[in-house]
Amino acid sequence: MNTVIEAHGLEKHYGRVRALDGLELSVDAGEVHGFLGPNGAGKSTTIRVLLGLARADGGSATVFGQNPWTDAVELHKRIAYVPGDVSLWPNLSGGEAIDLLSRLRGGTNDKKAYTERKARLIEAFQLDPSKKGRSYSKGNRQKVALITAFASPADLYILDEPTSGLDPLMEGVFNQEIRRLASEGSTVLLSSHILSEVEQLCDRVTIIRAGKMVESGTLAELRHLTRTEVSFARNGLTDADIARIPSIHDVALDNGRARFTVDSDKITSLLPVLTELNVKGLRIAPPSLEELFLRHYGDELNPAEASLVPHASRKARRREAAQEASLR
């Protein structure tokens, strides 16, 4: 079987709230799969269903071809999980929590190797394992969960926003570990609301919003989503000067600065022109996921939100829709 996670038309209601509304998700063996969506989109709910901690109200979900609700224990032998909001036992030390959870997962049978793996990870993540759970910060609690997950081998790693409390240095360590897992052939489902994190690590990405899948594919396929914003001080440049810059979209010229967006793969072709214009205060920023959602899925926002979508990007959206249609 080549597909590790398969979900079709997944539904989950909490009272009148539709947490999942016909969600589709497919993760292949051996890939690092980014699971993107704004807060409240249903990422954690999906993960809970996949772990058999919550039961789907409709649709189907399989993990390794098995039903996560009925075969939970069997599946958990192959899965390592890092929750989005890690809580620890207040009176157990971090080291104790790591050992306990690893033993419950059955990952400590190779006792000596486990001890070595644990020691290496504690060193890499710079964790003090003797502190009690109640005195750890959010980032340190997350480190405990990550060390636990990485200290025992698993076929599938489900990580729910694993870096939200880590500093950039520790994010680097985290990225290294994910690459190690990928090179060893494990499958990783990495949920996040930070696009750049997913871009660095993932082979394929699924984007969800309001409990539905809105995009799925390789990063190359989703390249049109990752349009970079460029801005610089006008500094006496005329509108005509700026119009000379090739392949730019969503141009906005106000008194002080010129702003526009560029397809991320065309950004290098832009640089000679910018050099020639001798621009000052140049700023090149990747788009945030929130901006993307506003730009690409603004139709689905409620009218109040939709009115916030800038006029210029409506045109871009139509173009996008055409582009999407041609992709399918």
Binding mask 48-67 for another protein (x = CB under 8 A): x--x-xxx------------
Burial of 192 (0-12, 13-18, 19+ CB in 10 A): buried
CB within 8 Å of 280: residues ≥ 6 apart: 232, 233, 235
89 touches another protein (CB under 8 A): yes
Segment near another protein (CB under 8 A); pick from 21-29, 101-109, 171-179, 212-220? 101-109
Segment near another protein (CB under 8 A); pick from 31-39, 127-135, 294-302, 311-319? 127-135
Segment near another protein (CB under 8 A); pick from 83-91, 219-227, 276-284, 292-300? 83-91
Contact by Cβ (8 Å): 64, 236:
no
103 touches another protein (CB under 8 A): yes
Segment near another protein (CB under 8 A); pick from 123-131, 186-194, 234-242, 293-301? 123-131
29 touches another protein (CB under 8 A): no
256 touches another protein (CB under 8 A): no
Q: Which of 22, 29, 92, 284 binds another protein (CB under 8 A)?
A: 92
Burial of 230 (0-12, 13-18, 19+ CB in 10 A): buried
104 touches another protein (CB under 8 A): yes
Q: Which of 29, 100, 233, 284 binds another protein (CB under 8 A)?
A: 100
Q: Which of 65, 106, 281, 310 binds another protein (CB under 8 A)?
A: 106
- Using CB under 8 A as the criterion, which residues of the chain lie in contact with another protein when the complex forms? 14, 48, 51, 53-55, 72-73, 76-77, 79, 81, 83, 85-101, 103-106, 129-132, 134-135, 145
